[in-house]
Amino acid sequence: MNNSRRTLFLIEVAIFSALALVLDLIPFLKFQLWAQGGSVSFAMIPVFIIAYRWGVKGGLLSGFLFGIMQVVVGTAYILTPLQGFIEYGLAFTVLGVAGIFAKQVKDALEAKQSGKFFTYLTLGVFIGSFLRFLAHLYAGVVFFAEYAPEGQPVWLYSTLYNGSYMLPAFVLSTIVIGFLFLKQPRTLLSIKD
């Protein structure tokens, strides 16, 4: 990667990570489901955009920065350092794994193969969202067991709790990113491998 490309990479990752935080902070752009955390918002979208523009490396870095910024600005719900790492350091970082399909998404969009485009786009967003869900699920089982209703298995409680916002967030992200890339393909195609 040459210097100007590296600079562009760093600038875009920083800007889109900050945009993810801003989207998470604007009250009318998110639907807060639970007091202990978990909301449906547009916040994952900038991380996925970077993952598709720059691949896994850009996506992981953008997700990591987004998670860390939540801790820095005080919006994170942290009980212990390990729980904080899992739910903010790890959970948001793994969103960037969506970038494993960056080339396929770009190629399908360039070739105007909308079926392939939506398939790979959805797969990437699903994998990133599912990995984030797994991190929150694990943290829920380990750190939030006391919130489970009596008689309900902790894993089921954590699955329902975290699934209640992660599934809609996945659907929202897929629709918005798909629409954005189809209507403004330059947002994706201006970066060449």
- Which of these, 124, 112, 111, lies nearest to 54 by C-alpha position? 124
Question: Of the candidates 125, 129, 67, which has an alpha carbon nearest to the alpha carbon of residue 92?
Answer: 67
Phi-psi region of 41 (alpha: psi -120 to 50; beta: other; left: phi over 0): beta
Buried b (16+ CB within 10 A) or exposed e, 71-110: eeeeebebeeeebbbbbbbbbbbbbbbbbbbbebbbebbe
Domains in the chain (CATH in brackets) are 3-189 (1.10.1760.20)
Q: How confident is the model at residue 31 (pLDDT cuts 50, 70, 90)?
A: confident
Which residue type is seen at 169?
A: A
What pTM was computed for the model?
A: 0.94
pLDDT, one tens digit per residue, over 143-171 is: 999 999 999 999 999 999 999 999 999 99
191, pLDDT greater than 70: no
